[in-house]
Amino acid sequence: MSFFQRDARMGTATQAAPRRLRLLLVDENATARAVIARRLSHRHYDVTAVDDGFAAQKALMTRPSDIILIDMDLRLLPAIATMEKIRAAHPVGHVCIVMIGCGGDGARMIAALDAGADDHIVKPFDFDMLDARMRRVHARADRMALLSRQYAELDARIARRAMELGETREALRQVELERARLMVSVDQLQAEVARLSAR
């Protein structure tokens, strides 16, 4: 497992750097892994690079990632199986997964998207394009997470209001029962007064 983290102080003072994202790169080709990791570390990613799907799962236990970049040519544990195991192990929250494939991988890329990949990019790729697509996927995941939190808060508020409404209805029922008892008492008193007046 390799880590690539560029010193954040190396950015320019005049332009605000984008937020650094944690990226897990899974690629069995050592040369491609080193090049991609180094290039992305200069684009504000803290990169963890591993060579197979099993190492990816182990890395995620100790170092959570915002984005996982998986090469489609994995052999030890195929790319789609790697993605499915990662999704199964992290059911809470949304891990962004982007697949890297070759030009002739159309059917496999479609299968990966059907299996839950968030996006894919074809080799050879432009690093600015890869960066833009990964940040778009991550921004979408952030919006989805925000919506999920807002829905959960709304559900909790609705549940609280429903409980309050139930308590209010019960209190109103008790008030109505007490009023009915008082009315019976008043009727009894009036009857007693009428009986005593009739003597």
Reduced to 3 states (helix: H, G, I; strand: E, B; else coil), residue 84 is helix
What digits encode the pLDDT tens for the residues 146-155? 887 788 888 8
113-129 burial, b at 16+ Cβ within 10 Å, e below that, comes to eeeebbbbbeeeeeeee
Record the pTM: 0.68
pLDDT at position 30 over 60: yes
87 with 116: CB under 8 angstroms?
Answer: yes
For residue 2, with 0-12 CB atoms within 10 Å meaning exposed, 13-18 middle and 19 or more buried, which class applies?
middle
pLDDT at position 13 over 60: no
Q: How far is CA 22 from the centre of its chain?
A: 15
Q: What is the largest CA-CA distance in the chain?
A: 115
pLDDT at position 46 over 60: yes
Of 91, 97, 16, the residue nearest 56 (C-alpha): 97
**Which pLDDT score is estimated for 92?**
56
83-109: average pLDDT: 83
